[in-house]
Every structure is written in C-alpha cells, then in structure tokens.
C-alpha cells in the first residue's frame, strides 16, 4: 500500500474532523499553560484547509500536503500555524508522487525537522516534538520489521499518544508555557496532544483503505 493522492486527502480531512471534535479539549489544555486558543486556531485553520482542497486538482500527494501547509501558515495564528504549516509543507516536498512505507517515513522525518528547525525545540521541552519524535521512531521500527503502512501508522499513533501523555510531568522550556516555569508541570502540552490527533488520523485512514 502506497501513500498516494487519495490517501493524502483522506488524511487531511480526517485531521480536520478530529480537530473539530477535539477543539474544546485542546483549548482547555492550552488555557492551563498557554493562550487558550490552540483548539480554536487549529479549527479555523483546518476549516480553511478543507475549503482549499475542495478547489484543488492535485498532481500528487505532495500537492495536497503542500496546500495544507500553506493554508495553515496563512490562516492560523500563534505558534501552531507556522509549526504545522512548515511541517506539512516539508511532508509535501518529500512526497511528489505515490510513496511506499519507507519513503513516507522519510517524509515524516522531514516534517519533524521542519518543526524542530522553526521552534528550536528538543525532546523533553514539552512541545509538538515530544509526540512526533516517538511517533517517527515507532513508525521506522515497524517498517524495519516488515510492517505495511497501516500497521506502521498504527504504531506511530500509539507512540504519539503516549508521547503526549508523557509531557504532563515535564517543565516547559519552549513557547508560552515556558514562562510559567515549574507551574507548567502537571499539564499536558496542547501541541503534543494535537500531534497525537494527526497521527491517529493517519492510522485510521490507512486502516480503512487497507
């Protein structure tokens, strides 16, 4: 099973649906240690993404993801728009055509590099990176063990979800939450939580199309 154009569009639409459902929870998480707008910002962004995809005749999966990233950068405020926007643009650049599991893993790695380059975050800083890093590691390990795309995506989703939970005891060292110092401990990072949604959506759509 390759990651192709229909799968790319299905993934983005699944992320949008997950964001719509979970926006209140993401906002609640962000209210504890941030500006309280993570859910509403992502909802606005992915609503705009859906509108952008409706008029798109993509030449490949990369075109879908690039348009997604460009739209997020232009429509989402705060840190989420630039970070997710750059990540999806990097994914898109790495996937000009249908790609197998290994190549898609390299695209996920490119997305993570984009996030880290822009946010200057490392694992343990209580950010998106803390969910994306274990997700990528689990995906690569699954592919190396012979897993197909759906099984590798499932492993990545599980790892991202755990990574998001693992941010609870961390003290934030990047972003608005870092201003709270020790008071950021005990709260789940909203960016890590939304990253878990992104990977869960990937697992669900690949499983559905397997």
Question: Domain of 61?
Answer: 5-209
pLDDT band, very low/low/confident/very high, at 109 (cuts 50, 70, 90): very high
**Which residue matches tokens 């759906």?**
150
CATH number, domain with residue 180 = 1.25.40.340
**Which residue matches tokens 């639409």?**
13
Contacts of 193 (CB under 8 A, 6+ apart): 22, 25, 26, 29, 131, 164
pLDDT in tens, 136-156: 999 999 999 999 999 999 999
20/80 Cα distance (integer angstroms): 15
pLDDT in tens, 157-187: 999 999 999 999 999 998 778 878 888 899 9
**Which residue matches tokens 């509108």?**
51
Domain count, the chain: 1
pLDDT in tens, 5-52: 999 999 999 999 999 999 999 999 999 988 888 999 999 999 999 999
Instruction: Dump the DSSP string for 53-105.
Output: HHT---SSHHHHHHHHHHHHHHH--TTHHHHHHHHHHHHHHH-SS-B-HHHHH
Q: Which pTM does this prediction carry?
A: 0.94
């Amino acid at each position: 099973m390759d990651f192709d154009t229909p799968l790319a569009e299905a993934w983005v639409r699944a992320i949008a649906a997950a964001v719509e459902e979970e926006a209140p929870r993401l906002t609640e998480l962000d209210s504890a240690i941030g500006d309280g707008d993570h859910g509403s910002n992502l909802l606005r962004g992915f609503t705009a993404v859906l509108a952008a995809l409706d008029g798109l005749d993509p030449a490949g999966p990369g075109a879908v993801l690039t348009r997604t990233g460009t739209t997020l950068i232009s429509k989402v405020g705060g840190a989420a728009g630039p970070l997710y926007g750059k990540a999806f643009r990097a994914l898109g650049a790495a996937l000009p055509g249908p790609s197998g599991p290994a190549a898609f893993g390299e695209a996920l790695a490119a997305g993570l590099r984009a996030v880290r380059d822009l946010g200057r975050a490392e694992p343990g800083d209580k950010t998106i990176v803390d969910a994306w890093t274990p997700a990528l590691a689990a995906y690569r390990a699954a592919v190396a063990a012979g897993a197909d795309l759906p099984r590798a995506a499932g492993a990545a989703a599980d790892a991202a979800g755990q990574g998001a939970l693992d941010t609870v005891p961390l003290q934030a060292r990047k972003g608005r939450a870092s201003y709270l110092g020790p008071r950021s401990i005990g709260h789940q990072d909203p960016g890590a939580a939304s990253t878990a949604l992104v990977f869960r959506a990937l697992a669900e759509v690949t499983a559905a199309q397997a």
